[in-house]
Amino acid sequence: MSVQPAQTEKLPSDFLWGFATASFQIEGSTNADGRGKSWWDDFAKLPGKTLDGRDGDVATDSYNRWEDDLDLLVSYGVNSYRFSLAWSRIVPLGGRNDPVNEAGIQWYSNLIDGLLKRGITPFVTLYHWDLPQALYDRYGGWLGREIVEDYVNYAKICFQRFGDRVKFWLTHNEPWCVSVLGHGRGVFAPGRSSDRTRSPEGDSSTEPWIVGHNLILAHAHACKLYREEFKASQGGTIGITLNGDMALPYDDSPENIAAAQHALDVAIGWFADPIYLGDYPEYMKEMLGDRLPRFTPEERAVVLGSSEFYGMNTYTTNLCKAGGDDEFQGKVEYTFTRPDGTQLGTQAHCAWLQDYPEGFRALLNYLYKRYSKPIYVTENGFAVKDENTMPLEQALADHDRVQYFKGNTAAILAAVNEDGVDIRSYFAWSLLDNFEWADGYVTRFGLTYVDYDTQERYPKDSAKFVTQWFKEHVPSAPEPKKDQAPNKEPEHLELPQANGDAAETDSATTSPTVETADPTSAVKRVANGDATTTPTVRGRRPAATHLAH
Ligand code: PNW
């Protein structure tokens, strides 16, 4: 009798995997074909704003080399590619009464056709941080409520012009970063902060919360529009993607257990709770009082349920101690050093990132339990320490990045097959080394090395690992039998069900809390599948529940 390979060792055959990029980080050609300025264009040129003093004018030159980049994707064997549209290429001045730039639309249209021709599913972000400069000059960008209408107008153009071919939409990338890094810490465009050594204007105590509110409303209204006017005919799905790293208590003390939950509330719950559960977390209301805007009943009705899935960008895990006055971390201190003095994982080039796959698995479980939505992992990656100063050969042998992806792909597999988490995509950040925002080109996140003098691309060992891993773990979709294949128009391609088929948890509106103190024990219990029994979901075992109750 032949033994079939165990199903549990695989991901579903419709699992999307590939690499992610963002327009400003790769395109360059900032003056080409009628593109308007984005607020990153000039910000990056201000002295001291990027580590190496370099800007995004050339980046990886992908505006010119897009076909080579698509061929690179083919060589990696991906079935999907996540990229973003530059708002200021499509509406150069950004606003709802401003002209549309056909040349910009054409460029993205060619890119989308190029992907489809190669059998690669486009996964498109509408806003990955490159706001048209004109909207900042006009009313302060995300600080002005008018942005909601302008964003929805831009989104509508994208649905109209690309929605016949694009079936996966992300409204915003990482609104926490736009709010906090752009308007609180002042390290990303537009660089606003109360710190007058950093910025001549800004109020870090109020502006990030206003910006966050407007980002949520813009997201929600774009989703509403998509569902009312496009979804039925185009058959796609739409959601937001949030950054957020696992937060584990530093030790067993009740205040540190609470601190880990507070960290999650501010990093993730700030955006996810209104969108999936209906309101800001209680902890944020307490912490901020009337500095936190409130949703009117009308707003709440648009916001709640706006995102059809959970878009997840995650990089690391933090150990949390109560204390400090940093509101952007929920008045919680982060460390990678355990009580016994050991490090949580391997240190990356950037201070905020260590490798800890157990945390990734725990976060997948936490999010699935708390928000009850299918999860699309839209970013995950690692920057090897000092890679920028290594000779090419050495940089290509990126052992630490390979280890990172080994751990996190295993975590995905276990979360799907052992924990029952409904995960539908994995995009490694990033296809290429690229413009890493305030880090300039110093920090390299690519699985492909870019020589910035020649723009040559060289696959790193990590690209080879990821490619091979997904080849082995995503079964190619079975060819439909002729007599069973319905006659489908492209716009009725079968899509993963985005609505209402996630775990039916009994606690969708309660607040699960991080319940355990010793991070390793929390994670071991996840790994051991030591979960409370809940009804089986979609034929898979239920999500582990002990990080959430
Ligand atoms: C994400 N942090 O940004 C972005 O979506 C990408 O554009 C970026 O290149 C990538 O991660 C790597 O940094 C982040 O400070 C930027 O915690 C900063 C942080 C997290 C994510």
Query: What pLDDT does residue 527 have?
Result: 31
Q: What is the rounded CA–CA span in Å between residue 79 and residue 426? A: 11
Ligand 1, atom 21, lies closest to the CA of 243
Give the distance (Å) from ligand 1 centre to CA of residue 429. Answer: 9
Check whether 505 has a pLDDT greater than 70.
no
Alpha carbon 310 to chain centroid, angstroms: 10
pLDDT (tens digit per residue) in 416-463 = 999 999 999 999 999 999 999 999 999 999 999 999 999 999 999 999
Ligand 1, atom 16, lies closest to the CA of 177
Ligand 1, atom 20, lies closest to the CA of 243
- Which ligand 1 atom lies nearest to the CA of residue 381? 12
Give the distance (Å) from ligand 1 centre to CA of residue 38. Answer: 18
pTM over 0.85: yes
Give the distance (Å) from ligand 1 centre to CA of residue 83. Answer: 15
Query: What pLDDT does residue 476 have?
Result: 81
Place of tokens 């949520």: 216
Query: What pLDDT does residue 520 have?
Result: 35
Closest by CA position to 123, among listed 93, 168, 75, 163: 168
- pLDDT-derived band of residue 478, with 50, 70 and 90 as boundaries? low
> Containing H/E element for 108?
helix 102-117
Query: What pLDDT does residue 480 have?
Result: 53
Is 379 one of the catalytic residues? yes
Q: What is the rounded CA–CA span in Å between residue 15 and residue 28? A: 31
Strands 246-249 and 16-20: unpaired
pLDDT (tens digit per residue) in 142-151 = 999 999 999 9
Check whether 338 has a pLDDT greater than 70.
yes
Query: What pLDDT does residue 479 have?
Result: 58
Closest by CA position to 404, among listed 442, 358, 369: 358
Give the distance (Å) from ligand 1 centre to CA of residue 243. Answer: 8
What residues line ligand 1, using a CB cutoff of 6 Å?
22, 25, 173-174, 177, 243, 313, 352, 379, 429, 436, 445
Highest mean pLDDT among 59-63, 485-489, 524-528: 59-63
Phi first, then psi, for residue 299 (nearest 5°) are: -65, -45
What DSSP state is assigned to residue 437? G
Q: What is the rounded CA–CA span in Å between residue 457 and residue 131? A: 28
The Cβ of residue 405 has, within 10 Å, a number of other Cβ atoms equal to: 24
Ligand 1 probe mutation, 240, 315, 382, 401, most atoms within 8 A of CB = 315
Structure tokens at 97: 């009464």
What DSSP state is assigned to residue 291? G
Q: What is the rounded CA–CA span in Å between residue 430 and residue 298? A: 39
Length of the chain: 549
Give the distance (Å) from ligand 1 centre to CA of residue 313. Answer: 9
Check whether 154 has a pLDDT greater than 80.
yes
Ligand 1 probe mutation, 83, 174, 349, 443, most atoms within 8 A of CB = 174
Ligand 1 probe mutation, 313, 353, 435, most atoms within 8 A of CB = 313
- Which ligand 1 atom lies nearest to the CA of residue 173? 5
Query: What pLDDT does residue 522 have?
Result: 35
Q: What's the mean pLDDT in 307-327?
A: 98
Q: What's the mean pLDDT in 244-258?
A: 98
Which residues, 6+ apart, have CB-to-CB distance to 506 below 8 Å? 534
Q: What's the mean pLDDT in 249-264?
A: 98
Q: What's the mean pLDDT in 68-86?
A: 98
Average pLDDT, whole number, for the chain?
89
Q: What's the mean pLDDT in 510-525?
A: 37
Give the distance (Å) from ligand 1 centre to CA of residue 7. Answer: 34
Ligand 1, atom 15, lies closest to the CA of 352
- Which ligand 1 atom lies nearest to the CA of residue 22? 7
- pLDDT-derived band of residue 9, with 50, 70 and 90 as boundaries? confident
Residue, of 529 and 305, whose pLDDT is higher: 305
**528 in Cβ contact with 496 (< 8 Å):** no
- Which ligand 1 atom lies nearest to the CA of residue 383? 12
Check whether 48 has a pLDDT greater than 80.
yes
- The sign one gets for the Cα dihedral 432, 105, 492, 501 is positive
Choose, from 379, 387, 418, 436, the residue flagged as catalytic: 379
Ligand 1, atom 17, lies closest to the CA of 352
Domains of the chain with CATH codes: 16-528 (3.20.20.80)
Q: Reduced to 3 states, what is the DSSP secondary structure of residue 105? A: helix
Q: What's the mean pLDDT in 326-352?
A: 98
Give the distance (Å) from ligand 1 centre to CA of residue 445. Answer: 10
> Containing H/E element for 311?
strand 310-313
Give the distance (Å) from ligand 1 centre to CA of residue 381. Answer: 10
Q: What's the mean pLDDT in 261-276?
A: 99
SS (H, E, C) 32-69: HHHCCCEHHHHHCCCCCCCCCCCCCCCCCCHHHHHHHH
Single-letter amino acid, residue 277: L
- The sign one gets for the Cα dihedral 354, 360, 362, 364 is positive
Check whether 49 has a pLDDT greater than 50.
yes
Ligand 1, atom 19, lies closest to the CA of 177
Q: What is the rounded CA–CA span in Å between residue 88 and residue 104? A: 8
- Which ligand 1 atom lies nearest to the CA of residue 174? 5
